[in-house]
Amino acid sequence: MYHQPVLLSESIEGLNIKKGGIYIDATYGGGGHSQEILKHIGEGSLIAFDQDQDAIKNKLDDERLILINQNFRFMRNFLKLYRAIPVDGILADLGISSYQIDQPDRGFSARYEGELDLRMNRRKSLTAADIINDYPVSRLREIFYNYGELENNKKIATEIDHARSNEKIRTTTQLLEATRFCAPKGSENKFYAKLFQALRIEVNDELGSLKDFLIQTVDLLKPGGRLVIISYHSLEDRLVKNFLRAGNFEGEVAKDFFGNPLGNFKLINRKPIVPDDEEISRNSRARSAKLRIAEKI
């Protein structure tokens, strides 16, 4: 399976699908969420996005589906092209797919020997190897601290700088060897997950893309339309939570003259929905998922 969709029934229920509506799956992946949306929309239409060329091979054979091989940060342009504005609902699952993790040549996991790539869109030029070998130590520290929340970022960057002075770091194994003295004993897996997360976010400008996407949803959704987002780490979830609650990424709620909060969305769930024990037992990669649902005012 390319990817087992996370919180499937909860996210589809959150969309509050109306037959005949126009819906967006901003992160198509293996098509699991899209397939379920298509079961509910009747004669409606679904426009899906995925920047990974491999995901396009999973296109469902359904005339109601348009699948676009682009980053969801360009959503508005394509919806204008297809004259699909406004839409009734937008869903985004921000996690990387099981397929991407399990392909050694993509470099997404510390568990496999492979090239330090980490590109979602392999048409882009910047790879994780470029970052590791070419970025100054000061910038590496920023990436590891801001995107991986790694407190020992100075030591990590220094060890990498020392290793790359001897030879280029091109593979996941070389990176692990260069940073092996930085990983806390007993928490090695967690450490490397954060390290690879930081590199992946920088390679793909994931937080910048997410911000662009969220800002567009305000103008693209109909009043009463639903926005459903599944995030997997605190950096993403904080941006989503603040934007839905306050209309900005800092979380500062603006109020009118009478003290009423100004915003574009009504929160459907105050606290994020998380997978239950049964789902986690079936799919351990769902463990960190958080689902937030909001309705356009």
Rounded distance between C-alpha atoms, residue 40 and residue 33, angstroms: 11
Residue 123 within a domain: yes
pTM of the model: 0.95
Q: In terms of domains, do 84 and 211 share one?
A: yes
Q: pLDDT (tens digit, 9 = 90+) per residue, 158-204?
A: 999 999 999 999 999 999 999 999 999 999 999 999 999 999 999 99
Contact 118, 201 (CB under 8 A): no
Picking from 89, 95, 118, 71, the residue whose alpha carbon sits closest to that of residue 237 is 95
pLDDT in tens, 55-114: 999 999 999 999 999 999 999 999 999 999 999 999 999 998 878 888 888 999 888 999
Task: Say yes or no: 128 and 215 in one domain.
Answer: no
Write phi, then psi, for 26 (nearest 5 degrees): -75, -10
End-of-domain residue from the set 145, 178, 204 = 204
- Looking at residue 260, its pLDDT comes to 83
290 shares its domain with 227: yes
| pLDDT single digits (tens) 244-289 | 999 999 999 988 888 888 889 999 999 999 999 999 999 998 999 9
Q: Within this chain, do residues 286 and 147 fall inside the same structural domain, yes or no?
A: no
The pLDDT value recorded for residue 99 is 81
Q: Summarize pLDDT for 261-272 with one digit per residue, the tens.
A: 888 999 999 999
Decide which of 146, 181, 204 is a domain's last residue: 204
Closest CA to 90 of 44, 48, 32: 48
Q: Residue range 17-26: average pLDDT?
A: 98
Whether residue 162 is found in the same domain as residue 246: no
Share of the chain above pLDDT 90, in %: 90
- The mean predicted confidence, pLDDT, of the chain is 96
Query: Per the structure, how many domains does the chain have?
Result: 2
Q: Is the pLDDT of residue 1 over 70?
A: no
Could you tell me the CA-to-CA distances from 83 to 7, 43, 72, 297 in Å, in that order?
Answer: 30, 17, 17, 22
93 and 215 part of one domain:
yes
